């Protein structure tokens, strides 16, 4: 269960990595503010991540050793980018002896919504999507189904509001089918807010089982 609270002063320096898509976003929580940088290239996470991290720290007059934690979006999403992002986060955690705060990409996308029932839909490949369903209980949105992979034909059957992340062409196709759907971009602010509000709950130094959420091995033809 992830809570959503107003961001309050939290005297820590937290690096945030959003690598669940093919375009990398890096953020830094410092002095109760969120700074961010993004790569102008796609599929360039391996090259861009060390550079953007160094740059965003330099912009705040900080060094790697000033970091207190690193939070990362765990997916689902781009297989390669997630793997690179998680490996980099683990490297920082081990070398600096700081915790990682893993956050589901589903949770990040749903962070600012208050609907009672929501489908979270993330584009995968071809006509395949990642899907997870949420419901509200005691004013907190909670996962009510395990993440799964579905085809676009399955998406057409969804009844509740859909939060979608992916290419515009599929969004437009789904929108034309009179689905209650909203296009949401990945947001590093959401990642940081969840990390700060749920720091004690989510932080971990147990790295052995910390892997990207690929939802599962699948092949849909």
Tell me the per-residue pLDDT of 102-114, one tens digit each, with 9 for 90 and over. 999 999 999 988 8
| CATH code for the part of the protein at 14-105+186-202 | 3.30.420.40
Instruction: Express each pLDDT in 159-184 by its tens digit.
Output: 999 999 999 999 999 999 999 999 99
Q: How far apart are CA 91 and CA 102, in angstroms?
A: 14
More confident residue, 70 or 4: 70
Task: Judge if the upstream peptide bond of residue 147 is cis by omega within 30 degrees of 0.
Answer: no
Instruction: Express each pLDDT in 5-51 by its tens digit.
Output: 444 456 899 999 999 998 999 999 998 899 999 998 888 999 999 99
Residue 219 pLDDT class (50, 70, 90 cuts): very low
pTM for the full predicted model: 0.91
Which option is the CATH number for 114-183: 1.10.10, 3.10.170, 3.40.50, 3.30.420?
3.30.420
**Sequence-distant (≥ 6) Cβ neighbours of residue 76 within 8 angstroms:** 20, 82, 105, 106, 122, 124, 130, 147, 212, 213, 214, 215
Residue of 105, 114, 124, 101 lying closest to 190 (CA atoms):
105
Going by the DSSP 8-state scheme, the letter that residue 30 receives in this structure is E
Q: How far apart are CA 166 and CA 179, in angstroms?
A: 16
Start-end of CATH 3.30.420.40 domains in the chain: 14-105+186-202
């Amino acid at each position: 269960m992830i809570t959503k609270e107003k961001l309050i002063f939290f005297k820590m320096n937290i690096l945030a990595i959003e690598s669940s898509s093919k375009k990398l976003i890096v953020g830094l929580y410092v002095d109760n503010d969120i700074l961010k940088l993004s790569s102008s290239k796609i599929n360039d996470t391996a090259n861009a991540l060390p550079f953007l991290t160094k740059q965003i720290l330099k912009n705040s007059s900080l060094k790697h050793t000033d970091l207190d934690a690193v939070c990362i979006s765990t997916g689902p999403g781009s297989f390669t980018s997630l793997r690179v992002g998680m490996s980099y986060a683990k490297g920082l955690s081990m070398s600096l002896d700081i915790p990682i705060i893993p956050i589901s990409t589903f949770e990040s996308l749903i962070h600012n919504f208050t609907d009672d029932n929501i489908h979270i839909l993330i584009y995968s490949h071809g006509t395949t999507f990642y899907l997870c369903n949420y419901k509200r209980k005691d004013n907190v949105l909670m996962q009510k189904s395990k993440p799964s992979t579905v085809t676009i034909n399955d998406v057409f059957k969804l009844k509740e509001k859909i939060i979608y992340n992916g290419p515009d062409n599929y969004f437009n196709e789904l929108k034309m089918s009179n689905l209650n759907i909203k296009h949401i971009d990945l947001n590093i602010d959401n990642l940081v807010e969840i990390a700060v509000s749920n720091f004690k709950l989510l932080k971990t130094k147990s790295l052995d089982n910390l892997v990207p959420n690929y939802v599962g091995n699948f092949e849909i033809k």
